[in-house]
Structures are given as structure tokens and as C-alpha cells.
Amino acid sequence: MHRYTELTVPENCGFGIALAIHHLQNNLLRMKNIVTLLSFMIMVAYTATAQDEAIFGHYTINPTLINPAQTGFNEKHNINMNMRASWAGFPNTPKTYALSYNGPVSNTLGFGALLLTETIASTSRYRAQLSYAFRYKIERVRMSIGLSTEFHQMRLASSVTTNPLIDPRDVIINDGVNGMNGFDASLGVAGIYDESLYFGISAPGLIRTRLDESSDPNGNNKLFQNWTLTVGNVFDVKSLKCKIDPSIVLRQIRTAPFLVDFNVKAMFLQDKLTTGFTYRAIEGDSGAVAFLIGTKLNSLGLYYSFDVSFQKFQNYNSGSHELTINFLLDRAKQTKNVKKKKR
């Protein structure tokens, strides 16, 4: 005779299921908080390195992105609109937009301004920057010393607090919604010898003064944690009726991997057509490559680049896209026009 085990359902089964659902909801809440916090922390980590380096790869088009000493250095008034979409095809990836101006205000002084906004997932970053430069000449070398000051803010979208899975009393979430504000400054030196061999060094992120914190308990507010070194030369190849501009850029950004960019840019048809290639070597990583193409019509320039990395993450996105619209106004022509109007 077989003995069967009787299966009984306890009277408090409904309470047990409710308790299980409650635990599940709590776990989902924790998971949602973790995902949101991870998104915010990724943005913090991303901007902690990215705001010290060039957000954009088009620093060969707009060198003020990495060195304030380039402010007004080309003796022209420069208006740049930069747009970059990183890791296209993957959700909630960084999208960056910037509008900047720089130009000479006298024979020795340059002035510039930049407004930048960047979004990644539910977080946003804003920058307002002013740059100043003093230019002088030593025989065949033109030199410039530049300084930039900026206000930046990182903010978590307030809409996350309306999500039923988010605890609106979470301190970290509220701090993110209220915004993390700070001031910073950068210093740079740039020069060009015989209008062909150019060089520059800059130290971004000199100041890390958080408005909501009087000091950093970890002691991370040290000077010269970041630096960028640029060396290049423009070769006028008259036989090919073009200019070749190879350059190398070395960048140390806080605790981020050491970066080395090898750039080659070629200008044809009196600079009306531009092509370029960049190989980026990253310490402890597999690197990346970028391709640039652009055109210039009178004072208007349009430049586009596409870059891909050799990381495994590249399998989940279709690369990064960058666009720069550049407008140049020659200072000498502007002065002549003013004189004609006076007559």
C-alpha cells in the first residue's frame, strides 16, 4: 500500500503571497535605484574625465576645446557649433552640443566664450566658460598664454522622482536632482614657429571647488592632475597642391587611462577640402580610430567625423558621430569694411 503525502495549503497563503510580492517590489525598487544611481555615477565618472579633456574629437578644427591659449590665436573671429552623438544605436548614450566663440579683441588680447550641454540617460551636464589669452611674438615664434574660467553643473532629471519604483526620500537621488555645482579653471600655453611647427600644453581642471562642499575629504583637489600636450607641423606640399598636418596629442586626465592621439589632416584646393585620420592609443585598452571629412566655402566650414573603438562594446553600437559648423570672420577685412562705411 502506497502512502501519499498530503499537500495542504495554509490559511495564511494569501498573506504569504502578499509578503513575497512585497519583497519582490522592494527588490525591484532597489534594482531601479541601483540602475538610476549607476546611471548617475556613470555620468559623474564620465564627466570627471570628459570635462577635463576634449569632449569633441574636433580639436584639430577648434583647438580652443583643449587649450585656452588658442583663444584668438589665428587672428580671426571664430564661431563654432559642435554636436556629438557617442555610441549611436545604444540607448541613453551621451549626446553633446556646444556653441562657442573666440577671437582677437586687440593686437595682443583674445577673448572667448563657450556654452555646452550634455545628456546621458537621466542625467545632464551644463558648462558656461569664458577664456582669455595674451598673445606676443619672439622673433619667428608667435606665443600665447591663456586662461579659462567656468561654471559647471551636473543634474539628475526630476522626472525620476515621479517613478513609483523610486523612493523620493532617497538622499542621493535628491542630491542629484538638486544638481552638483562647481567652478573650475584651466591654463594653457601655445606657440607656432615659422607658421608651420606648432605646440601647446594645457592644464585643465585646476580648481575643483564644489559649491555644496567646502572641501574634498579624499584630497582630490590637487593642481595639475590633468595635462594635454600637442605637437604638430603643417607641411606645404606644393607638388600635390595640398597641405599635410600631422600631429600628436598626449593627454593625462586624472585617474583615467593615458591617451595618445596620432592625427593626420590633409587640406586640398586651398583648404576648401579637408580629410583626416586619427588613431587613439589608450593605456590598457585596444584604442579607437576616427575618420574626418570637411569642406569650406568662403567663411563657412562644415566638418564631419565618424569614429569606432576596438573594444567589445563596439559590438553593441554603431560608432560615434561628430559634426562641426565653423564660421570665420577675418579681422583685417572687418576693419577695412568699417573704414569704408565711415567714408
Among 46-50, 62-66, 261-265, 273-277, the minimum mean pLDDT is found in 46-50
Q: What is the CATH number of the domain that holds 203?
A: 2.40.160.40
Domain assignment present for 82? yes
Domain assignment present for 65? yes
Among 63-77, 147-161, 251-265, 327-341, the minimum mean pLDDT is found in 327-341
Structural domains in the chain (count): 1
Q: Is the pLDDT of residue 333 over 90?
A: no
- 2-19 mean pLDDT: 40
Domain assignment present for 8? no
Between 297 and 20, the higher pLDDT residue: 297
How far apart, in whole angstroms, are the C-alpha atoms of residue 236 and residue 240?
9
How far apart, in whole angstroms, are the C-alpha atoms of residue 229 and residue 236?
23
Q: Is the pLDDT of residue 111 over 90?
A: yes
User: What is the per-residue pLDDT for 230?
Assistant: 98
- 282-291 mean pLDDT: 89
156 contact partners, CB below 8 Å, separation of at least 6: 36, 40, 122, 123, 173, 176, 177
Domain assignment present for 70? yes
Domain assignment present for 38? yes
User: What is the per-residue pLDDT for 313?
Assistant: 86
Domain assignment present for 39? yes
Q: Is the pLDDT of residue 213 over 60?
A: no
Among 91-105, 117-131, 158-172, 219-233, the minimum mean pLDDT is found in 158-172
Task: Cell 606645404: give the residue.
Answer: 236
Q: Cα 272 to chain center, whole Å?
A: 27
278 contact partners, CB below 8 Å, separation of at least 6: 57, 261, 262, 263, 264, 289, 290, 292, 307
> Where in the sequence is the domain holding 277, given as residue range(s)?
13-342
User: What is the per-residue pLDDT for 224?
Assistant: 67
Domain assignment present for 6? no
Domain assignment present for 145? yes
